[in-house]
Chains A and B, each alone.
Chain A
């Protein structure tokens, strides 16, 4: 039971990550590789707060999101004026910096050993020991995240973002401030990633640098691409398909020594096939450019 709950919580967490990334990739047309770094910032911040201070879960959740957003924007602000390769490379650099800090700042992050012994979350002053209740809490948060993403994307704000994805110069010529739109979507994405980090830390009860590498960024990007860039339903389907395959492979009895590699080969293969036969993803309308 505990295993299933843990997988379900992971799926919720990936949904939040993928929704954040879809907002950026699918709506404003920026491809970021900083997902894992922002996710890691949320995770580490949560671990540190939970270990050293008795703070409420929601306070930490919001702090994780906000802190990820502030750091992310500071680093990527110069790149947000640009598009395409420049932005991607800057976010990659950001990921390396964050991974290095996680691995080497021994006094705070305890380096490769990671931070262990994260206590059960404190929700409105009560310690939440039940895994099931924790799952329900995460489910509600995920539903709220889906609601917010959907509401924003279907509004005139979302329409302007779609315009930006189609042709940013034309949108600028119409008098819209495209840098402001880019910064806002990046903040949205970073907040979602940071919050997912909080969920990860409380679910796993420990954080270490290996959980937040570029592989994780690519895994989340794969979910968005597989489901369909620019589609919220598609993103959730992508999370389900890749999440279930990735977790499922663990339980089909492959020897432990090759289980991880097998998982990567399978989802790598799925991505290759999709790029060839259905580049717009399962439910998407757009191809990634």
Chain B
């Protein structure tokens, strides 16, 4: 079943056409890969879906509802969450605190509740703590719970960024190059978490440069080039498409 549909989205930056009538969809509970060279529009479409950029035309439909142009926080509340290629962790906060900030609707994040601290918040705090510890364990960062995010190695930071977005409880996760800049062992760690996510029912859209990574985890792939869809198909078919190889790998 299609959970997210991108329909004819176009976006110009001045005279540059970043996205041109782009359409694709995500199947519920599956990993969908978006590949393409730099400037193909991959991150731009993430920004449009999550409300950080407004598209010039087109529609985004999520679970049958038009979410085009909603503010980023409303889109998160609908259940779509994204990671950033540059991670954007809260460096001076601990791993625990980073994940805490992903948990939605905490009453103590309201000023008056924080000031008055009614008795019920103690229970809520305990529940948040348990949930956060569960997520830290899920992404394998338990030994680093109290470390500052900035002090972690890059591979662990990537895992933390995944954990932080898991905490939001979103059903659909948009991952922007989750394995870029990592070595083999760390790539395996990330992919293991990503696969685990789909078994727990999450829908994932993955932007990647690394063809091996995409073909290893994605069930369906869209190839973007200069803001349009160049090809689509099941992972093994797309990988052997001569046109894709030519554009993406620079082959003849």
Q: Is the CB of A157 within 8 A of B92?
A: no
Q: Is the CB of B168 within 8 A of A175?
A: yes
How far, in whole Å, are A170 and B149 apart by their CA atoms in the complex? 14
Chain B residues near A162 (CB-CB < 8 A): 90, 92-93, 97
Q: Is the CB of B100 within 8 A of A156?
A: yes
Q: Which 10 A-B pairs have CB atoms at the shortest separation, nearest pair first?
A: A175-B76, A155-B114, A170-B88, A157-B114, A166-B90, A156-B108, A163-B101, A163-B90, A167-B88, A156-B109
- Which residues 164-180 of A have a CB within 8 angstroms of B? 166-167, 169-177
Q: Is the CB of B92 within 8 A of A175?
A: no
Contact with B along A130-170 (1 / 0, CB 8 A): 00000000000000000010011001111110110011011
The answer to whether the Cβ of B111 comes within 8 Å of any Cβ in the partner chain is yes
Chain A residues near B84 (CB-CB < 8 A): 170, 173
Shortest Cβ distance from B105 into A: residue: A175
**Given that A156-B109, A175-B168 are known contacts, is A167 also in contact with B115, CB under 8 Å in the complex?**
no
Chain A residues near B100 (CB-CB < 8 A): 156, 159
Q: Is the CB of A172 within 8 A of B73?
A: yes
Q: Is the CB of A155 within 8 A of B93?
A: no
Shortest Cβ distance from B125 into A: residue: A156
Chain A residues near B76 (CB-CB < 8 A): 173-175
Q: Is the CB of B81 within 8 A of A174?
A: yes
The answer to whether the Cβ of B110 comes within 8 Å of any Cβ in the partner chain is yes
Q: Is the CB of A171 within 8 A of B72?
A: no
The answer to whether the Cβ of A184 comes within 8 Å of any Cβ in the partner chain is yes
Q: Which residues of A come within 8 Å of B, CB atoms?
A: 148, 151-152, 155-160, 162-163, 166-167, 169-177, 184, 188, 285-286
Q: What total count of A-B pairs have CB within 8 Å?
A: 89
**Given that A160-B101, A163-B101 are known contacts, is A170 also in contact with B111, CB under 8 Å in the complex?**
no
Report how many residues on chain B are interfacial, defined by Cβ distance under 8 Å. Answer: 35
The answer to whether the Cβ of B102 comes within 8 Å of any Cβ in the partner chain is yes
Q: Is the CB of B73 within 8 A of A156?
A: no
Contact with A along B106-122 (1 / 0, CB 8 A): 10111101110100000
- Which residues 74-108 of B have a CB within 8 angstroms of A? 76-77, 81-82, 84, 88-93, 97, 100-102, 104, 106, 108
**Given that A156-B106, A162-B92 are known contacts, is A172 also in contact with B72, CB under 8 Å in the complex?**
yes
Q: Is the CB of A174 within 8 A of B165?
A: yes
The DSSP consensus for interface residues of chain A is helix
B123 → chain A, closest Cβ, in Å?
14
B117 → chain A, closest Cβ, in Å?
7
The answer to whether the Cβ of B50 comes within 8 Å of any Cβ in the partner chain is yes
How far, in whole Å, are A174 and B167 apart by their CA atoms in the complex? 9
Chain A residues near B92 (CB-CB < 8 A): 162, 166, 285-286
**Given that A162-B92, A166-B93, A175-B168 are known contacts, is A157 also in contact with B81, CB under 8 Å in the complex?**
no
Q: Is the CB of A157 within 8 A of B93?
A: no
Q: Is the CB of B111 within 8 A of A157?
A: yes
Shortest Cβ distance from B98 into A: residue: A163
How far, in whole Å, are A166 and B90 apart by their CA atoms in the complex? 5
Q: Is the CB of A155 within 8 A of B117?
A: yes
Q: Is the CB of B102 within 8 A of A174?
A: yes
How far, in whole Å, are A158 and B101 apart by their CA atoms in the complex? 11
Q: Is the CB of A188 within 8 A of B111?
A: yes
What would 29 A/B residue contacts be, using CB atoms closer than 8 Å?
A: A151-B117, A152-B115, A156-B100, A156-B106, A156-B109, A157-B114, A158-B114, A159-B93, A159-B97, A159-B100, A159-B101, A159-B109, A162-B90, A163-B93, A166-B93, A167-B88, A167-B90, A170-B84, A171-B90, A172-B73, A173-B72, A173-B82, A173-B84, A174-B81, A174-B165, A175-B76, A175-B104, A176-B73, A177-B73
Chain B residues near A170 (CB-CB < 8 A): 84, 88-90
B164 → chain A, closest Cβ, in Å?
7
Chain B residues near A184 (CB-CB < 8 A): 111
How far, in whole Å, are A240 and B55 apart by their CA atoms in the complex? 53
Q: Is the CB of B73 within 8 A of A175?
A: yes
How far, in whole Å, are A160 and B125 apart by their CA atoms in the complex? 14
